[in-house]
């Protein structure tokens, strides 16, 4: 078994004091969790930091009695020892009485992509599967990890968001991500492990200084701490201040985003005219915030190229690729279009589904409904379906409140639906007859004057994206 134990020469008394201090710190940290949470998911690699975290959860069973606890170990398949590590993790969790889940992922190295980043993204995608709105994901990141993250982001030329590094508590998937040990350094974890006689696995790749993070850990960090012993505490203070600054920037971006989308029907389209009226810094800030919500990190060069194209000519075509998305311009709005969008598939619904508020998700879109609208509810004898443009040969229809009929193609043009979105626009049908074009219009014959029917809402589902934590 590739396991290790602490070989620290720290005195027993000092270790006991450190252990007591860490126990108190952990208890205080747990109290910071939002009251609505009832589940804890622990990301457990089997290494020192997550082993200490697991033991702290075991030792603090009384403080955590309001939570169910699940432990998830992700096998990346990168080491021939991975199976033995998984078994070590399983046995330890069983000894503590914790539910254990082994998740296996396969990650292929890609040109111009960091293998570390690919592994991290795959790991958090798996962990996100276990995180709902009542769940906190706990990880064992500590102060040394924070220093490494800060230096890596500094090397990349990051702004406030990157230099703010890892926050202790942040939104993740539908729940939160919590790092209760972020102010604790590795030597404190080793001292605690010594008092508890803990064993853990050692990943041989952690000593390979071909990886930037390992170079910082084994070469750069010791030099910094030897020169300035208080460097980690200063760094913690700086990252907290940077996180406050980023919070203010996010608040400003939220206000701007609301202004830029309030006249449009879709959350993934920004009105260009008011966007251009903002200062360059404020404009870049709201764009970064908007794109980051989609899991994208625009470079300074990409933003500069974007504004160059927009300023060139008002009606000029614009298309910039960023990740698996493209930025496009249509009808004086800036759109973010996912290149690998879903293939529309019809959905059969029951009339009873509309008796109360609900929603359906397809691709990155969410169609929801509630009472208080003008669309007649389906009677129990009607067949209800969600269909798409490809199911019809450009039908002609009458929209409630309008004179005459128009083709579906003409109506979508009038409603300002971007050409690349038209095939994905859901059409609500009763007995194969279109009764509503998404949330844009209700067809004649299905409109009721009093707001006692259905109100439809089509939105982009931001929560379907799993943001790989900083």
Residues belonging to the binding site for ATP are 45-50
Alpha-carbon dihedral sign for residues 409, 412, 416, 422: negative
Cβ atoms of 420 and 328 closer than 8 Å? yes
Of the CA atoms within 13 Å of residue 72, those in its CB half-sphere come to 22
Interstrand relation of 39-43 and 135-138 (parallel, antiparallel or unpaired) = parallel
**Integer angstrom CA distances of residue 366 from 46, 425, 438, 453, 459:** 38, 11, 10, 19, 5
Q: What is the DSSP string of 383-415?
A: -EEEE-GGGSSS-EE-BTTSSS-EEHHHHHHHT
State the angle between helix axes of 186-195 and 48-59 in degrees (0 to 180), rounded to the nearest 10. Answer: 50
Alpha-carbon dihedral sign for residues 403, 405, 411, 414: negative
- The token pair at 61 is 């069973």
**Integer angstrom CA distances of residue 285 from 159, 262, 390:** 11, 18, 38
Q: How far apart are CA 420 and CA 415, in angstroms?
A: 14
SS3 154: helix
Angle (nearest 5°) at CA 300 between 336 and 322: 30
Q: What is the DSSP string of 415-457?
A: TT--GGGGGG--EEEETTEEEEETTTEEBTTSB-SSS-EEEEE
Angle (nearest 5°) at CA 38 between 34 and 40: 90
Buried b (16+ CB within 10 A) or exposed e, 297-332: ebeeebbeebeeebeeeeeeebeeebeebbbbbbee
Helical H runs in 262-332?
A: 272-276, 280-292, 300-312
Binding positions are 45-50
Residue 351: DSSP 8-state? G
| Beta carbons within 8 Å of 338's beta carbon, 6+ residues apart | 324, 325, 363, 364
β-partners of residue 406 are 397
């Amino acid at each position: 078994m590739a396991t290790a134990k602490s070989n620290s020469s720290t005195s027993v008394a000092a270790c006991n004091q450190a252990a007591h201090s860490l126990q108190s710190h952990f208890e205080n940290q747990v109290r910071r969790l939002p009251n609505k949470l009832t589940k804890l998911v622990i990301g457990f690699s089997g290494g020192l930091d997550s082993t200490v975290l697991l033991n702290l959860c075991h030792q603090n069973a009384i403080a955590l009695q309001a939570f169910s606890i699940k432990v998830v170990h992700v096998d990346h398949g990168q080491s021939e020892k991975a199976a033995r590590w998984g078994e070590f993790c399983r046995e330890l969790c069983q000894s503590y009485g914790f539910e254990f889940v082994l998740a296996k992922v396969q990650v292929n190295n890609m040109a111009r992509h960091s293998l570390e980043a690919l592994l991290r993204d795959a790991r958090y995608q798996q962990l996100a599967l276990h995180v709902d709105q009542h769940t906190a994901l706990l990880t064992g990141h500590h102060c040394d990890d924070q220093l490494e993250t800060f230096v890596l982001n500094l090397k990349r030329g990051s702004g406030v968001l990157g230099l703010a590094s890892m926050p202790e508590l942040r939104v993740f998937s539908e729940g939160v991500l919590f790092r209760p040990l972020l102010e604790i350094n590795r030597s404190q974890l080793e001292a605690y492990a010594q008092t508890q006689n803990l064993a853990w696995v050692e990943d041989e790749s952690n000593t390979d200084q071909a990886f930037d993070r390992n170079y910082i850990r084994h070469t750069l960090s010791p030099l910094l701490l030897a020169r300035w012993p208080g460097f980690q505490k200063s760094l913690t203070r700086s990252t907290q201040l940077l996180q406050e600054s980023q919070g203010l920037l996010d608040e400003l971006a939220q206000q701007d985003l609301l202004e830029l989308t309030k006249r449009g029907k879709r959350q993934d389209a920004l009105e260009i005219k008011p966007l251009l009226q903002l200062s360059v810094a404020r404009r870049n800030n709201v764009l970064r915030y908007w794109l980051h919500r989609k899991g994208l990190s625009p470079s300074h060069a990409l933003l500069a190229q974007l504004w160059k194209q927009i300023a060139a000519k008002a009606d000029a075509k614009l298309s910039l690729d960023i990740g698996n998305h493209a930025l496009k311009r249509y009808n004086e709005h800036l759109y973010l279009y996912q290149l690998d969008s879903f293939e529309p598939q019809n959905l059969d619904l029951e009339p009873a589904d509309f008796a109360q508020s609900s929603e359906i998700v397809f691709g990155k879109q969410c169609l929801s409904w509630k009472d208080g609208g003008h669309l007649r509810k389906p009677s129990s004898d009607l067949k209800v379906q969600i269909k798409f443009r490809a199911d019809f040969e450009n039908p002609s229809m009458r929209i409630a409140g309008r004179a005459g009929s128009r083709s579906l193609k003409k109506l979508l043009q009038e409603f300002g639906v971007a050409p690349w979105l038209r095939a994905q626009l859901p059409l609500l049908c009763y007995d194969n007859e279109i009764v509503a074009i998404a949330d844009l219009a209700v067809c004649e014959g299905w409109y009721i004057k009093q707001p006692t029917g259905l109100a439809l809402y089509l939105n982009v589902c931001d929560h379907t994206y799993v943001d790989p934590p900083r």
